[in-house]
Amino acid sequence: MARAGKDPVNAPMIRHWCEAMGDTNPAYTGPHAIAPPTMLQVWTMGGLCGHGGRTHAYDELLALLDEAGCTSVVATDCEQEYARPLRPGDEITYDSVIESVSERKTTRLGTGYFVTTRTDVRAGGALAGTHRFRILKYAPARSGGGTARGTRPRPVVNRDNAGFWEGVRRHTLLIQRCTGCGTPRHPWLPGCNACGGVDWDTVEASGEGTVYSYVVMHHPPFPAFDPPYAVALVELAEGVRMIGNVVGVPYDKVRIGQPVRLEFRHYDDELVLPVWRARGSAPEPPEPPYVADNALPPLEIPVTRTLIVAGALASRDYQDVHHDPELARRRGSPDIFMNILTTNGLVGRYVTDHFGPTATLRSVAIRLGAPNHPGDTMVLTGTVETVDDGGTATVRVVGANRAGRHVTGTVTVTVPGEDLS
């Protein structure tokens, strides 16, 4: 049964969305304005009050999953296809169906089910776009004490190594160096193990290294860790060795001699640790063809608390994990995090910023990875993979933050009269 959107397409909501996304595309203003295509789902959202009295199958399914203990939810995938632009004054109707429910799966967040829905959005009876949306409805991972998963152990900080951990907190890996003989050393010590000198300074590590040795940890299990996982002795380019987790590849793909790159990972509000990302996994810096002529210039987006909340409000998404830090922590997250509608809007803005106001988005399909938390910086990069004779390009987009890939996606866009090859 078709349902009506709460409001017609309107200029104030478009303006609010564009301000939240930082989108200055002139196509979205003026007497001939269209709505940003990535707002497609917004017109179907129930807002703070929801859709009064609805009892359709989706609500019943979510209620059953709640009863089964899967009380938390996070969006994972979004696929949109745009059939025609929406304009202020258009009255929206939409039909939603449940396309699939996965078998019970265990993830880092917890154990639950992936639910995929498809929504056809119409204006004046004509199809405006199709929206596929996937969520994970899950029971948060718990420790033996019945609280949120265990706190990761803290490093022992003393007067000899405090400078090292202060550098890590600032995302800087500092290596001690003897000022007498120039020998670098790690871990930090009060004296040089080569000449015995007590005077030293520091050098910042380049972040490049190779796996010198490694072990795969299976036991003993500990609530703060997800075994099996690989712990490596990494030989840094500066000549010292350091122990750390290897991320970005399955534990059974770690190899001696494998090149790795330094990355800083936030485990909660206070704990930052250096980890080692296997080269060739996200978030690798752009390699060809990203540096070739078919590359889009990178776009850095500071992820502020304001951006996260403004994006949730602009998309009428009042899930508490996007605005309430305390409730987000109760649900297993270290802080609030960006919702998928905001990410979708930023990806669309990134592509149309590059191709200009005459560009027409045909589709946007994204998948989320590492969350965007306050204090992160997301860097969007893109490359044109194909261009057809009609001027429609397929663009691969990746958005990475300090924890890894936040989003990967594919965007199709048409630019009339332009040679995109």
Residue 47 located in a structural domain: yes
303 plus 256 within the same structural domain: no
Residue 201 located in a structural domain: no
CA dist 309 and 338 (Å) reads 8
Which residue type does 404 have?
G
Residue 74 located in a structural domain: yes
Residue 172 located in a structural domain: no
Provide the number of structural domains found in the chain: 2
Domain, as residue range, for 249: 208-266
Residue 165 located in a structural domain: no
Residue 293 has a pLDDT of 53
119 plus 228 within the same structural domain: no
Residue 346 located in a structural domain: yes
Residue 180 located in a structural domain: no
The DSSP-derived string for 51-73 is STT---HHHHHHHHHHHTT--EE
CA dist 282 and 350 (Å) reads 19
Parts of the chain with a pLDDT under 50: 52-55, 143-149, 282-292
Residue 52 has a pLDDT of 45
59 backbone dihedrals φ, ψ, rounded to 5°? -65, -40
CA angle 277, 108, 324 (to 5 degrees): 105
β-pairing verdict for 272-278 and 259-266: antiparallel
CA dist 376 and 368 (Å) reads 15
CA dist 50 and 319 (Å) reads 11
15 plus 44 within the same structural domain: yes
212 plus 297 within the same structural domain: no
324 plus 403 within the same structural domain: yes
Residue 54 has a pLDDT of 43
Residue 290 has a pLDDT of 32
CA dist 315 and 78 (Å) reads 14
Percent of the chain at pLDDT exceeding 70 = 89
**Mapping DSSP to helix (H, G, I), strand (E, B) and coil, where does residue 112 land?**
strand
Residue 330 has a pLDDT of 81
- 302 strand-pairing partners: 377
367 plus 396 within the same structural domain: yes
Residue 288 has a pLDDT of 33
308 plus 256 within the same structural domain: no
Residue 154 has a pLDDT of 85
253 plus 337 within the same structural domain: no
240-266: per-residue pLDDT in tens?
Answer: 999 999 988 888 889 999 999 999 887
249 plus 365 within the same structural domain: no
Backbone torsion region of residue 196, taken as left when φ is above 0, otherwise alpha when ψ lies between -120 and 50, otherwise beta? left
241 plus 304 within the same structural domain: no
Residue 196 located in a structural domain: no
227 plus 139 within the same structural domain: no
234 plus 137 within the same structural domain: no
Six token digits for residue 166: 């202060």
Closest CA to 39 of 64, 2, 12: 12
The whole-model pTM stands at: 0.65
